[in-house]
Amino acid sequence: MVYVQPVIMPTHIIALGGSLLRPEEAEMRGIWFGQLRQMAVHFEGNGRKLGIVVGGGLAAREAIELAKETVTESYRLDSVGIMATRLNASILQQSLIEIGCNVNPKIPETTASASEMFESYDIVIMGGTIPGHTTDAVAVALARDCGSPHCVIATNVSHVYDSDPRKNPGAKKFDEITLSKLADITGKDTQGPGESAVVDPIAVKRAIEFGIRLAVLDGRDLSILEDALEGRPFVGTLVKVD
Ligand code: UTP
């Protein structure tokens, strides 16, 4: 008798920067969404699980700016940002449900409930959870809860740099670094409501604590995201556990 060894596929977790939804670029947005749908269908078809934590992007920035007219408490502004992340998450959720993907019909509010949803759904989509961090940190927590050893941070820059390449043309990019080196670059300060860094320092801190490897890449080109998910060499920065 031949015994077939069951293959346990790891759950892949992606922090999908809200800026990638690009409401300001109608033409590119359509193409990007179409490719993302294709990728999700392909992934699901291979029996793999995908967790997508969607960021707030423009919706969060605008809503937080508007709220700042009358709201001063940081955690309240964060709460507004969280709703924007969930709004963006629902756009992706509905887009994938419409083409028949097995996606969670309700957006979870904690990573624990999101990870339980993998028992019933192939693709679990969520936004933010509580004030004080961004969806990068949520994605790292979800990876931990799902027992995944890695987390992809899909953003709108190609790599992690040693300084901001928009301000410093001589900034050096990394193909590979360690989590502690990334922590040196991002610093330890938490971000204010609506503030953005290549990777949220809280996410880096959690990745160190949980031993989770990160892939930081430009999610505008979905072939790069697919390379990383498939375990192929990818254009971007691989952040290894020390
Ligand atoms: P994002 O996760 O979108 O932050 O959260 P970001 O770094 O700006 O990422 P992208 O690339 O635009 O998507 C937006 C804001 O929502 C609040 C914070 O104020 C954050 O700056 N937020 C989000 C939370 O407080 N908690 C969460 O779990 C998520």
Lowest-confidence segment of 5-9, 44-48, 57-61 by average pLDDT: 5-9
Residues 6+ apart with CB under 8 A from 82: 56, 127, 128, 129, 130, 131
3-state secondary structure 103-135: ECCCCCCCHHHHHHHCCCCCEEEECCCCCCCCH
Q: Which CATH number fits domain 11-240: 3.40.1160.10, 3.40.50.20, 3.40.50.300, 1.10.3720.10?
A: 3.40.1160.10
pLDDT for res 133: 96
Per-residue model confidence as pLDDT tens digits over 102-156 = 999 999 999 999 999 999 999 999 999 999 999 999 999 999 999 999 999 999 9
Is any atom of ligand 1 closer than 6 Å to the C-beta of 57? Answer: yes
pTM equals: 0.95
Per-residue model confidence as pLDDT tens digits over 9-22 = 679 999 999 999 98
Is any atom of ligand 1 closer than 6 Å to the C-beta of 196? Answer: yes
pLDDT for res 240: 98
User: Is the alpha carbon torsion for 101, 21, 54, 219 positive or negative?
Assistant: positive
Give the integer Cα–Cα distance in Å for 26 and 102: 27
Give whole-number Cα distances, 38 to 31, 34, 35, 68, in Å. 11, 6, 5, 39
Q: How far does the centroid of ligand 1 lie from the alpha carbon of residue 1, in Å?
A: 54
Half-sphere exposure of 9 (CA within 13 A, CB side): 16
Per-residue model confidence as pLDDT tens digits over 161-176 = 999 888 899 999 999 9
Is any atom of ligand 1 closer than 6 Å to the C-beta of 78? Answer: yes
C-alpha dihedral, 142 to 148 to 149 to 152, nearest 10°: -60
Domain boundaries, the chain: 11-240
